[in-house]
Structure 1
Amino acid sequence: MNLKDKFSNDERRVNIEEEMMSDTLSTYLNEWLPPSREVVIACIGTDRSTGDSFGPLVGSMLQDQTLETFHVYGTLEDPLHALNLKERVQTMNDEHPNPYILAIDACLGRATSVGSVVLGKGTLSPGSALKKDLPPIGNLHISGMVNVSGFMEHVVLQNTRLHVVMKMAAKVAAAIQLADTERRRIRLETSPVQAFTAATKRESLFGKAGKPRMDGTL
C-alpha cells in the first residue's frame, strides 16, 4: 500500500467508471513498456486486508490467463507483501536477469481520486501509507486508489469496499491482457519465426490453458 497525494507529468490517470478504461490503460501500457523485453509484473499486497488486496487480486486474475509477454508474481494464494518482498524481488532477478518490472499496488490518496488508477514511470514505495520501510520497486507502476489517506490508515484499509477493489482489479487485469495481445501482435509482425517458436514452446510446456501438463510430457 503506497501513498499518492499529487500527480506528475510522468503519470497517466484513468477512472474505473470510464467506459473504455481498460482499453485506454492498455494503450498507455504499450506506449511505455519496452516492446522487446519480457516484463515481470509484481502484484503487491495481502489478502488479509480488503483495501490492500488490489494487487493480489490482479495477480490471481492474470494467473488464470495465458500471457506470453508478462510473468506474474503475487496472487491471493501466494501474495507478495511486506514480509517477503525483499526475498521475492531477489527471486525475480534470479529467474529473469535484469527484469523490467511493472509494480502494481493499492494506494491511498485524496477523496476525489478514489476509483482512479494511475500508471506512472519509475518506482513506487510499498508500505509508505502505513509508514513501513520497504525498498522501492518497479521501472513502471500501477497504483489503484482504493480509499482516502490522512487518518488511521489501517482502519481505512480494513473498511474499504470490496466492490471497488474487485472492479478496479478486474479492469486493470483486462487492460494487461489487452496489452499482452497487442505486444504479441507486434512481435509476430517484426519477428514471426521467433514469436511462433516461443509460443509453440510455451504450449508444449504448459498446454493451451497456460498451466503445467500433469501427464509428465513436454
Structure 2
Amino acid sequence: MGNFQAITCQGCGRQIMDLEFFNNTKTVCNRCANASSKEKRLTKKSKLNKNKLSKKENRVHIDNPLAANKLKKIIIYTLKELYSDTNQIVILCIGTDRSTGDALGPLIGSKLTRLITTNIPVFGTLDEPVHARNLQEQIELIEQEYFNPFILAIDAGLGKNSSVGSVTVKPGPLKPGSGVNKDLPPIGDMHITGLVNIGGYMEYMVLQSTRLSLVFKMAKLISRGINWSIRSVNYIN
C-alpha cells in the first residue's frame, strides 16, 4: 500500500488524504464534488423549467369564447412556476386615464380592487393611476412596504395588426413605455400585456384613438382571469 499525503481541498479548505482525489481531475474532496454535482443538476432543472415556461402557449384573444378560462390556466401555470409563498403578491397596473388605449391598466386596477377584497394590494386605478411620471415613486413605495414582493405588472401594448386584441402572460419584468419609446424602469416578476392597437408609427396618436370598447373588453377579461386564478390557487381565502 502506498503512502498518501494530506492535500488541501480547493473547495472547503479541509485537509484529507489524496486518495479522495484519485478519480477527480480537480483537487476538491468528495463532499465538495458531490455538492457541485447537485448544484449543476439544480441549475439544469431550473433551465428546463424556464424553457418549458417559455415554450408553453401564453397568449389568448378576447374573441375566443373560452378566453377567460384559458387565461386563468396560463396565469396559474406561470404563478406556480415562479411564485414562492414567502413573498407578498402585489399587483401593479400601469397606465393613465388620459388616453383611451393606455387606460387598460387603470381599468383593470379599479376592477380588481372590487373583486379582490383581501391579502393582495393593487396599485394603479382610475382614481390613482400609476404612469410614467410616478412609476419610480410607486416602485420604491412597494419595496418599502412589502418585504421581497412578488410583483404582477400589467400594461397596455402595441403590436402587429393580427395581434390586436391579444393578451399575453410572460415571466420576468415588464418594460413599460417601450411601445411609445419611453425609457422607464423594468418592473415585475411576471407581467401581463394587452395589445390594444397597432404599433410602429405615431404611437401616442394611436393610443388616443384606440376604441374604448376593445379596452373595456380586455380589462374585463384580464381582471376576471387574475381573480379566478388567484382564488383557484388559494392565495385568497
Name which of 58, 61, 66 aligns with 1:15.
61
Aligned equivalent of 2:10: none
Output the CA distance in 2 between the equivalents of 1:24 and 1:149.
26
Which consecutive aligned stretches of 4+ in structure 1 deviate over 3 angstroms post-superposition?
8-11, 66-69
Whether 1:147 aligns to 2:197 is yes
Name which of 148, 151, 157 aligns with 1:101.
151
Q: Are residues 72 and 19 of structure 1, via their aligned partners in 2, closer, same or farther at CA, if it must alter by over 3 Å?
A: same
Aligned equivalent of 1:59: 109
Query: Post-superposition shift, 1:69?
Result: 4.8
Residue segments in structure 1 that go unaligned for 5+ positions in a row = 1-7, 188-194, 200-218
Aligned equivalent of 2:125: 75
Residue segments in structure 2 that go unaligned for 5+ positions in a row = 1-53
Aligned equivalent of 1:205: none
Name which of 27, 34, 38 aligns with 2:88.
38
Tell me if structure 2 keeps the 8 A contact 1:69–1:183: no
Query: Post-superposition shift, 1:65?
Result: 2.0
Aligned equivalent of 2:75: 29
Query: Post-superposition shift, 1:70?
Result: 2.7
Q: Percent identity?
A: 46
Moved more, 23-32 or 168-177: 23-32
Output the CA distance in 2 between the equivalents of 1:35 and 1:60.
26
Higher relative contact order at CA 8 Å, sep ≥6: structure 1 or structure 2? 1
Output the CA distance in 1 between the equivalents of 2:64 and 2:187.
28
Amino acid at match of 2:219: A
Aligned equivalent of 1:174: 224
Matched pairs, number: 180
Tell me if structure 2 keeps the 8 A contact 1:103–1:124: yes
Tell me if structure 2 keeps the 8 A contact 1:42–1:102: yes
Tell me if structure 1 keeps the 8 A contact 2:88–2:147: no
Whether 1:49 aligns to 2:99 is yes
Tell me if structure 2 keeps the 8 A contact 1:67–1:180: no
SS at match of 2:219: helix
Q: Are residues 175 and 35 of structure 1, via their aligned partners in 2, closer, same or farther at CA, if it must alter by over 3 Å?
A: farther
Amino acid at match of 1:12: N
Tell me if structure 2 keeps the 8 A contact 1:10–1:121: no
- What does 1:153-164 correspond to in 2, within 5 Å? 153-164=203-214
Tell me if structure 2 keeps the 8 A contact 1:11–1:118: no
Query: Post-superposition shift, 1:78?
Result: 0.1
Query: Post-superposition shift, 1:35?
Result: 5.9
Output the CA distance in 1 between the equivalents of 2:67 and 2:119.
21
